[in-house]
């Protein structure tokens, strides 16, 4: 859950009301601002519902049906939108969405995300996890969204959520939200300034997604040998592209061969996984090592880094398997996200399989290989069901064929992909910095600490 801050920490210091400011309830705002309840300027506050028949009535075209995953911070995402028929839409006429509505997620992990419906949007509908806030002209929709996304709004959302009986907001709580209200002219100026930062953030996010797609394509071509690490020194771009097209069409270019895993460079080897990795079970510990968790996004990490609190029976921990730095781990969800790599020493559930290389390898090469989509599909072909989910056993994993280039080429390939990773990491750090800067700007503009008309 997001950190809940005292309201007195959100606005100006309540112990000192500066000249030109006034104290209203727990808030200090500029003297010419008002503090209102959202209900005072709202025309409509309400959520939708799940249509009769649920997901069975969803369509690939028709009236857009907006769910919580479509409502992002400051942006309505229609890329993965689903649709309902005109008939169902008319049955739910009380929750029709129109341009310039404010949409707010009111339940679940995305609670508090909100956006303005674009003016180019025609009409749609919403489910029960999304709330429509339609306001009078005295309140700028863009200004309202920024208030709701700022510490002022998010703190009220989290306080109401924490005080409720379930993880969600009700309409009365939303109606009672406190909204600092400058003149409409100042609202628009503030919204325009923050909109500039939103555009910068959006462009950075799009660049990151573009780089991720490029990395994905690069990984596939390098890890399958469609392109070689030194191709640019030997061939033109046209010659490289011609070779890739041949391989994709099933033809074998010069210098390549057919193998158990497809067309690969002649100098590459293909080995069964058991000739590269051993099933390593080591329970020589006292249960005092750090407990590790397998995550699809972050690899093997200390469980303490997860936002969960699990109590363990110390006696049961002695049955856990020891993981060393550089080990690979097959977890209960490897069929979804591939095999994880560990940078940590610790212990994991005995249900996991620990892989330790016994052939000479570059760890990063197989770390990338085990995350490729086509490899994960091959893992899916050898899963079996167990009580708590699905698992890939070492015996079946060991029979899978894996590419085995020379160690030198493994190093070259992983180094190139690593450079792409570093670029994406730097871009993400820049994105975080922009978001933090915008957050600071919101804090001073939306509280009136800095006035845009001065």
pLDDT, tens digit (0-9, with 9 covering 90-100), for 369-410: 999 999 999 988 888 766 556 678 899 999 999 999 999 999
pLDDT surpasses 80 at 446: yes
Range in 123-137, 211-225, 297-311 the model is least confident about: 297-311
DSSP 8-state secondary structure symbol assigned to residue 342:
B
How big is the CA angle at 385 (ends 270 and 364), to the nearest 5 degrees? 35
Indicate the pairing of strand 34-37 with strand 102-105. Answer: unpaired
CA distances from 434 to 75, 197, 430 (A): 17, 8, 6
pLDDT surpasses 60 at 46: yes
Residue 115's beta-bridge partner residues?
Answer: 103
Average pLDDT, the chain: 90
Under the banding of pLDDT at 50, 70 and 90, the label for residue 27 is confident
Under the banding of pLDDT at 50, 70 and 90, the label for residue 295 is confident
pLDDT in the model for residue 6: 42
- Measure the CA–CA gap between 113 and 104, rounded to whole angstroms: 6
- Measure the CA–CA gap between 55 and 442, rounded to whole angstroms: 39
Pick from 193, 106, 204, 107: nearest CA to 146: 193
Residue of higher predicted confidence among 82 and 56: 82
pLDDT surpasses 50 at 161: yes
- Measure the CA–CA gap between 225 and 266, rounded to whole angstroms: 10
pLDDT in the model for residue 166: 56
Tokens of 438: 């915008």
DSSP track, 83-116: EE-HHHHHHTGGGEE-TT-EEEE-BSTTTT-EEE
- % of the chain residues with pLDDT over 90: 74
């Amino acid at each position: 859950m997001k950190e809940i801050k005292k309201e007195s920490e959100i606005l100006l210091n309540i112990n000192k009301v500066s000249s030109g400011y006034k104290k209203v309830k727990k808030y200090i705002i500029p003297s010419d601002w008002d503090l209102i309840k959202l209900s005072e300027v709202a025309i409509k506050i309400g959520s939708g519902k799940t249509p009769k028949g649920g997901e069975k009535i969803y369509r690939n075209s028709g009236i857009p049906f907006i769910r919580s995953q479509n409502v992002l911070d400051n942006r309505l995402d229609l890329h993965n939108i689903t649709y309902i028929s005109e008939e169902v839409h008319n049955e739910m006429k009380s929750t029709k969405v129109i341009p310039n509505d404010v949409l707010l997620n009111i339940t679940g992990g995305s609670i508090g995300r909100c956006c303005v419906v674009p003016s180019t949007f025609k009409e749609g509908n919403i489910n029960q996890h999304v709330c429509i806030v339609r306001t009078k002209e005295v309140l700028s929709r863009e200004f309202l969204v920024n208030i709701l996304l700022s510490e002022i709004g998010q703190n009220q959302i989290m306080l109401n959520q924490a005080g409720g009986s379930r993880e969600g907001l009700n309409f009365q709580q939303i109606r009672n939200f406190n909204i600092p209200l400058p003149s409409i002219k100042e609202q628009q100026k503030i919204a325009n300034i923050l909109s500039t930062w939103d555009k910068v953030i959006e462009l950075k996010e799009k660049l990151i997604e573009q780089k991720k797609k490029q990395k994905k394509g690069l990984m596939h071509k390098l890890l399958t040998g469609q392109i070689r690490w030194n191709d640019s020194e030997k061939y033109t771009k046209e010659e490289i592209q011609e070779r890739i097209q041949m391989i994709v069409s099933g033809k074998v270019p010069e210098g390549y061969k057919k193998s158990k895993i497809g067309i690969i460079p002649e100098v590459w080897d293909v080995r069964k996984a058991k000739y590269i990795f051993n099933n390593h079970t080591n329970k020589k510990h006292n249960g005092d090592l750090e407990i590790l968790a397998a995550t699809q996004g972050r690899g093997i990490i200390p469980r303490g880094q997860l936002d969960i609190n699990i109590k363990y029976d110390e006696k049961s921990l002695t049955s856990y398997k020891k993981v060393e730095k550089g080990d690979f781990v097959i977890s209960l969800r490897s069929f979804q996200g591939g095999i994880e790599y560990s940078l940590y020493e610790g212990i994991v559930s005995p249900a996991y399989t620990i892989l330790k290389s016994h052939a000479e390898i570059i760890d990063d090469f197989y770390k990338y290989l085990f995350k490729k989509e086509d490899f994960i599909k091959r893992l899916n072909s050898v899963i079996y069901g167990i009580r708590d989910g699905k698992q890939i056993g070492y015996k079946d994993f060991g029979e899978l064929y894996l590419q085995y280039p020379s160690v030198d080429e493994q190093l070259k390939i992983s180094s190139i992909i690593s450079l792409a990773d570093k670029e994406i990491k730097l871009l993400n750090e820049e994105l975080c910095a922009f978001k933090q800067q915008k957050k600071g700007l919101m804090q001073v503009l939306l509280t009136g600490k800095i006035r845009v008309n001065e």
